Amino acid sequence: MARPAMSLANKFIGHLNHLEKTRTKMEKLLTTGAVVRRDIEQVYAGLYLEAITSLERLIENLFIGLLVGRANSSWFIGNCSESFF
């Protein structure tokens, strides 16, 4: 079984990759003229906020995992699934 911290990190990286794919699609639309600069700037703002929020969620979940793990590590390992984070 993967360590909870590694699972969280892998999920975070996967989410960032998804955001990057969205950015790439939007830039292609910009180059074809399907969207204007103002639209792409709004998308960039949204992607930035999503990335920062995801980072904050990762840090919070790692911190909670440490707190719970130190209080009772056997409970944490046995009862926390990836959906906990």
Residue 64 tokens read as 């909670």
Could you write out the DSSP letters of every residue in 50-65?
Answer: HHHHHHHHHHHHHHHH
CA 54, 59, 62, 64 dihedral sign is negative
Burial of 70 (0-12, 13-18, 19+ CB in 10 A): exposed
Domain edges within the chain: 30-71
Residue 41 tokens read as 């700037």
pLDDT attached to residue 72: 46
69 pLDDT band (50/70/90 cuts)? confident
pLDDT attached to residue 3: 75
pLDDT attached to residue 41: 97
Residue 78 tokens read as 């046995």
| Residue type at position 35 | V
pLDDT exceeds 70 at position 74: no
pLDDT attached to residue 1: 44
Instruction: Give per-residue pLDDT as tens, 41-52.
Output: 999 999 999 999
